[in-house]
Structure 1
């Protein structure tokens, strides 16, 4: 049974089993990253979940589609790995949000995407995957036995053919252990104050992180999501409009304690694969996030070794999509440089090589 209501986009918001299961498709990578940030950094998880819930609902109504609302993964990955501090994460998120808003409103996205190039975008993605995997392995080695149990649960789920659900199963396993350890936390409504986890700090590291994130956002979150909206839903959603909404969302969320957020193409594909067809999935997931914000204190008891396995699973997912590139050597070079040096340097070097190939060698990598 499905219930439909209209919205001003002319599309229905349906509430059905497909929309409910589809809502979970967006949480496969979102929740592990959010839990890791809440555990390893000063990020305020109640504020993060509250704002995720709000913006899931907002964009579900505005677009009438199950658009993804997820953390900017490059910034989140760098913060989890300890490459940037929380104040730098906040500053980088505001900087990226401002650039996206200007680029989107100026209808400049096509030019920016052409300038950066797909191999560089995928290379930054690979660098983030490698950093997350490194952090995850370090956490897992802290309790190899517990990490081994989590890995065993993952392999069992994959063996039964539910690869996409593996992350949620491990997340649930860790949640049960946290609940057994700490008990049910008392519901608490997060207070809305400016920068509850600390003031932003603009630094060279924050600027470099922002550059890497913008490379991923332009290609993977704006252009790719726009293409998916046409392919999966027969809807024409301009990449520049998506850039504008991501910029506005980040500029509003970060000062209130949230994370810089984007519309990832992977999250949209995940929602579709799990059955979502309208913005109703966003309203369902938004409600779940709002409920989770009330008991977010449970995350402090989340086992570090299980969290390490989660980060490795997210890293594998990111690395798999990073291989969808037009130049694997350049993508790998950017990824390894991002791991060994930093993502900002990797981005600049990658763009320079891409432009050299285009202008001097007359080749489009």
Structure 2
């Protein structure tokens, strides 16, 4: 049975089984990254979940379609591997939000994309996947038998056709283990304070991460998502409009303990693949995030097995690497992607982004 209401854009919002499964499709990469971030930094997971819950609902109602709300993966990945502290992450997110709001209002998103080049953007994605894989190995090494069992479960589910759902299954197993250790926490509202995990601190690392993230966001979260809105949902939503809403999200959420968020094309495709067709999926997922925020205590997070977290990061890293490499055409483009990725792992993502942009410009002149 399906129920429907109207969104702010006068589109139908349905609440059906398809919307519910579509909502789960968007959480496949979001939840593992948020749990990993909370386990490795000072971020407050309840506050982060509130931010995701609120803006899933806001943009679902505003756009009237299952628009994705995801973490900014370059910045989140850098924080997970220790290259950014939470105060630096918050500063980078505020800076990125301000830039996205400005370029969206000025209609500059398309021009930025032509300057950077898609292989460089894909290279940043590949770099983040390598960094996450490196962190995953470190986390998994604490309990190799448990990590091996987790990888085996993921592999088995992938073989029988549940590759994406395997992440949620392993996350569920880790959560059960955490509850068995710490018990079921009493629901508790997060404190409504400004910057609960630390005052933003702008540093060189935060600036480098912001530059790299903006390259990814312009290409993957603005332009690619705008195209996908038309391809999958027959909706004409401009990249500049999406850039504006991402800027608003970051600037509004981060002061209250949130993290940098964007509209990812992968999350939108995931929602569609799992059956979401309206913004009702966002409302359902937002309510789910808000419910999780009530019980995501520090004790429960501390009890989550780090080796299982390593397994989750392996899966997320491999999926991010696949998304980075598979759309690239030609040996030269692939060389730029791999070069940026390796440079990001060996040096840092910001330097790799700049070097990749220069390399892409030189390569394009040779064609």
TM-score range, shorter chain: over 0.9
Question: How many equivalent pairs are there?
Answer: 361
Separation of aligned partners in 2, 1:275 and 1:67: 13
Q: Which residue of 1 aligns with 2:339?
A: 333
Q: Is the 8 A contact 1:60 1:280 kept in 2?
A: yes
Separation of aligned partners in 2, 1:91 and 1:355: 30
Q: Is the 8 A contact 1:150 1:173 kept in 2?
A: no
Displacement of 1:121: 0.3
Displacement of 1:150: 0.9
Displacement of 1:300: 2.1
Q: Which residue of 2 aligns with 1:226?
A: 226
Displacement of 1:164: 1.0
Separation of aligned partners in 2, 1:28 and 1:191: 27
> C-alpha offsets along residues 110-167 of structure 1, whole Å, 9 cap, x if unaligned?
1000101000000000000000000001110110011111112111211211111111
Separation of aligned partners in 1, 2:59 and 2:7: 12
Q: How does 1:35-114 map to 2 (within 5 A)?
A: 35-114=35-114
Unaligned 5+ segments in structure 1 are none
Q: Secondary structure at the match of 2:164?
A: helix
Q: Which residue of 2 aligns with 1:303?
A: 305
Displacement of 1:355: 2.0
Separation of aligned partners in 1, 2:192 and 2:216: 30
Separation of aligned partners in 2, 1:10 and 1:85: 42
Q: How does 1:1-365 map to 2 (within 5 A)?
A: 1-297=1-297, 298-323=300-325, 324-326=327-329, 327-358=333-364, 360-361=365-366, 363=367
Scaled by the length of structure 1, what TM-score is found?
Answer: 0.98
> C-alpha offsets along residues 27-66 of structure 1, whole Å, 9 cap, x if unaligned?
0000000000111110100000011100000000000010
Separation of aligned partners in 2, 1:49 and 1:355: 40
> C-alpha offsets along residues 188-227 of structure 1, whole Å, 9 cap, x if unaligned?
1001111100011111100000011001100011111001
Separation of aligned partners in 2, 1:350 and 1:247: 25
Separation of aligned partners in 2, 1:355 and 1:111: 15
Separation of aligned partners in 1, 2:220 and 2:279: 20
Separation of aligned partners in 1, 2:28 and 2:355: 32
Q: Is the 8 A contact 1:158 1:166 kept in 2?
A: yes
Q: Is the 8 A contact 1:93 1:250 kept in 2?
A: yes
Task: Tell me how large the CA RMSD over aligned residues is.
Answer: 0.8
Separation of aligned partners in 2, 1:354 and 1:151: 36
Unaligned 5+ segments in structure 2 are none
Q: Secondary structure at the match of 1:14?
A: strand
Q: Secondary structure at the match of 2:13?
A: strand
Separation of aligned partners in 2, 1:187 and 1:94: 30
Q: Is the 8 A contact 1:147 1:305 kept in 2?
A: yes
Separation of aligned partners in 1, 2:92 and 2:328: 26
Separation of aligned partners in 2, 1:336 and 1:287: 39
Q: Secondary structure at the match of 2:142?
A: coil
Separation of aligned partners in 2, 1:75 and 1:267: 17
Displacement of 1:100: 0.5
Separation of aligned partners in 2, 1:67 and 1:147: 33
Q: Secondary structure at the match of 1:302?
A: coil
